[in-house]
Amino acid sequence: MYGEHAMSGSAAERAKRSFRKHGGTMRMADALRAGISRNTLYAMRDSGEIEVLARGLYRLASLDPLSSPDLTTVAKKAPHAVIYSISALAFHELTTQIPHEIWIAVPRNSEPPRLEYPPLRITRLSHKSYHLGIESHTLDEIEVKVYSREKTLIDCFKRRNEIGLDVVLEAVRMYKYQNKVDVEKLMSFAHELRVARIAQPYLEAIL
């Protein structure tokens, strides 16, 4: 009995070290690749040493609470997803809207992520549109992909009928008040995404 207890204890300690190397959060698949057995994961879960963020996603319980649990869960479960549209506006503090879903973009031919939580609004983008303007931000030691402020504004012009032109124009005004305006970059994205004719008059009037 003593030997079994010591062995399970050392397995848990090795697992904790692996978790720390991964910023404290690991997917089941990554844990298995790191040599952590399912039994060890389940035992750590049952003992309260790790917590379940989503199905197949675990985090050390001893860490400080996550500041952005929804975004970091999406980033870990769907590494190819980019925070998009209303959710990207919220991330950049360019809206007073509170999204009830996480808006993400994925490549058109990719497998869409399936999460029980948080709820997702998934948009499939062309290769060019998907890769334009991606930024990498670190939240809670996890890399989260988010479209830049300028790309996000132009994405919102493109989806103005879906999210509302008033939301888009509010975002442009808040962008102006942040005092980091790059009209050249905005118009470059607008031409790339073929909404320059629509976006330019509003941008010129507000900025």
pTM of the model: 0.79
The percent of residues above 90 in pLDDT, for the chain, comes to 71
Residue among 35, 115, 31 nearest 79 (CA): 115
Walk me through the domains of the chain, giving residue ranges and CATH numbers: 2-60 (1.10.10), 69-206 (3.30.460)
Please write down the HEC assignment for all residues of 31-56. HHHCCCCHHHHHHHHHHCCEEEEECC
Q: What is the mean pLDDT of residues 75-96?
A: 95
Q: Does residue 2 surpass a pLDDT of 70? A: no
9 pLDDT band, cuts 50/70/90, is low
pLDDT classification of 6: cutoffs 50, 70, 90: very low
Average pLDDT over residues 53-82: 89
Residue 89 clears pLDDT 50, i.e. is over it: yes
Query: With 80 as the cut, is the pLDDT of residue 33 above it?
Result: yes
